[in-house]
Amino acid sequence: MLRIAVPNKGSLSEPASQMLREAGYRQRRDGRELVLPDVENDVEFFFLRPRDIAVYVGEGVVDAGITGRDLLLDSGVDAIEHRALDFAGSTFRFAGPPETVTSLADVQGKRVATSYAHLVGTYLAERGIDAHVVRLDGAIESTVRLGVSDLVADVVETGGTLRAAGLHVFGEPILQSEAVLIRPSGAEPQPGLETLDRRLNGVLVARKYVLMDYDCPVEHVEACVAVTPGLESPTVSPLHDTGWKAVRAMVPRNQTNPIMDQLYELGARAIIVTGIHASRL
Ligand SMILES: Nc1ncnc2c1ncn2[C@@H]1O[C@H](COP(=O)(O)OP(=O)(O)OP(=O)(O)O)[C@@H](O)[C@H]1O
Ligand SMILES: O=P(O)(O)OC[C@H]1O[C@H](OP(=O)(O)OP(=O)(O)O)[C@H](O)[C@@H]1O
Ligand SMILES: [Mg+2]
């Protein structure tokens, strides 16, 4: 049985369970369940604190886990990213009062509050910057006002929290983070992991692509197909009217409308878009 760690709280928890549900796995209905066997799929889910998941995976206690890339790197354990999962996207950045910090060099000699002490310590050490890292669990943005730090290093999504605290980001982003599937490094991946990974990729594809069908005059098929090349190659089928063909291809969801505009200009008609419920590539 493949043992998989899933975040039990925080911003990763609900989207991770949702993704696993879409991939055909059982997920807990009651937020207090700690272990959930899914016998039909030969997996067992362990609901753990997001920050601890990399540790369990690194120790080989579980075969895989879902966590944030930032948490994985901060843990410093022997686990590696197996696949990016395209949710809980954020950047990890330095921020501080605009009057006192504007570039990375200004961090020298200052107090930096963060929940990611290892990540920040390593980042600064690699750049030869000597600073005092103050490790705190959360509400990092308040630490400057409260006098515990001179600046912070924290997760930024919309930037709203920093703005509300009167802080501005500076320097290059330390890291781009998102939810990731991780596994122990070194050891060969468990056999069931490939199935889990293919299923999760199936969900990613179903979210990212739509199916586009359209009819096209025979003489414009090549031009239209160039606009919708699909993943392998689009399906081109005959129609009863021999002057027309039917074309079907997967297209990126976020380009649906510009692609339909281009196809229409090229003479395609009856353009129909359908969502993909599930996929296996
Ligand atoms: N606003 C956000 N947008 C996107 N990702 C976020 C956000 N806040 C935290 N994360 C991500 O969630 C993970 C941290 O999870 P954790 O549960 O420790 O904190 P949290 O989501 O802030 O939960 P909480 O503060 O409610 O305990 C990290 O990978 C982090 O990048
Ligand atoms: O850029 P934003 O869209 O404002 O989001 C980023 C904020 O969200 C998270 O905080 P959370 O609300 O989880 O509180 P915490 O700091 O106590 O974890 C994160 O730690 C940042 O503070
Ligand atoms: Mg938080």
| Nearest-CA residue for atom 18 of ligand 2 | 138
The arithmetic mean of pLDDT across residues 271-277, rounded, is 96
- Nearest ligand for residue 88 CA: 1
Domain assignment of residue 150, yes or no: yes
Indicate if 84 and 185 belong to the same structural domain: yes
Q: State how far the Cα of 180 lies from the Cα of 240, in Å rounded to an integer.
A: 48
Domain assignment of residue 280, yes or no: no
Query: Where does a domain end: 127, 160, 189?
Result: 189
CATH number of the domain bearing residue 110: 3.40.190.10
DSSP type of residue 239: -
Q: How do beta strands 151-156 and 209-217 pair?
A: unpaired
Element (H, E) at 98: none
Indicate if 61 and 36 belong to the same structural domain: yes
Intra-chain end-to-end CA distance of the chain, in Å: 24
Q: What is the pLDDT of residues 193-208, one digit of tens each?
A: 999 999 999 999 999 9
267: three-class secondary structure by DSSP: coil
Report which of 61, 15, 55, 11 is spatially closest to residue 35, judged by C-alpha positions. 61
Q: State how far the Cα of 111 lies from the Cα of 152, in Å rounded to an integer.
A: 8
Query: Where does a domain end: 134, 159, 189?
Result: 189
pLDDT at residue number 280: 86
Indicate if 50 and 95 belong to the same structural domain: no
State the burial class of residue 76 (Cβ atoms within 10 Å of its Cβ: 0-12, 13-18, 19+). middle
Query: Which atom of ligand 1 is the closest one to the Cα of 177?
Result: 31
Indicate if 79 and 149 belong to the same structural domain: no
Tokens 């002057």: give the residue.
243
Domain assignment of residue 198, yes or no: no
pLDDT at residue number 244: 98
| Rounded distance from Cα 176 to ligand 3 centre (Å) | 16
- What confidence category does residue 191 fall into, taking pLDDT thresholds of 50, 70 and 90? confident
Question: What mean pLDDT, rounded, does the chain reach?
Answer: 96
| Nearest-CA residue for atom 20 of ligand 1 | 10
Token pair for 246: 């039917």
Indicate if 183 and 59 belong to the same structural domain: yes
**Structural domain of residue 263, as residue ranges?**
209-275
Indicate if 76 and 95 belong to the same structural domain: no
> Does the C-beta of 70 come closer than 6 Å to ligand 1?
yes
ipTM: 0.96
Element (H, E) at 223: helix 221-227
Q: What is the pLDDT of residues 219-257, one digit of tens each?
A: 999 999 999 999 999 999 999 999 999 999 999 999 999
pLDDT at residue number 187: 75
> Does the C-beta of 119 come closer than 6 Å to ligand 1?
no
* 142: phi then psi, degrees, rounded to nearest 5: -80, -10
Indicate if 21 and 83 belong to the same structural domain: yes
Domain assignment of residue 202, yes or no: no
| Nearest-CA residue for atom 1 of ligand 1 | 157
The arithmetic mean of pLDDT across residues 96-101, rounded, is 98
Indicate if 124 and 71 belong to the same structural domain: no
The arithmetic mean of pLDDT across residues 35-55, rounded, is 97
- What confidence category does residue 149 fall into, taking pLDDT thresholds of 50, 70 and 90? very high
Indicate if 128 and 82 belong to the same structural domain: no
pLDDT at residue number 190: 83
C-alpha angle with apex 82: 172 to 210, nearest 5 degrees?
85
User: 243: how many CB neighbours lie within 10 A of its CB?
Assistant: 8
Domain assignment of residue 195, yes or no: no
Which of 186-194's residues contact partners 24+ apart within 8 Å by CB, and which partners?
186/78, 187/60, 189/63, 189/82, 190/2, 190/63, 190/64, 192/1, 192/2, 192/42, 192/43, 192/63, 193/2, 193/63, 193/64, 193/82
Q: For the chain, how many structural domains are there in total? A: 3
pLDDT at residue number 153: 98
CATH number of the domain bearing residue 227: 3.30.70.120
The arithmetic mean of pLDDT across residues 66-74, rounded, is 98
Task: Enumerate helices (H) and strands (E) in the chain, giving the number of each.
Answer: 8, 15
Domain assignment of residue 249, yes or no: yes
Domain assignment of residue 203, yes or no: no
Query: Where does a domain end: 129, 152, 175?
Result: 175
Residue of 92 and 33 predicted with greater confidence: 92
Domain assignment of residue 261, yes or no: yes
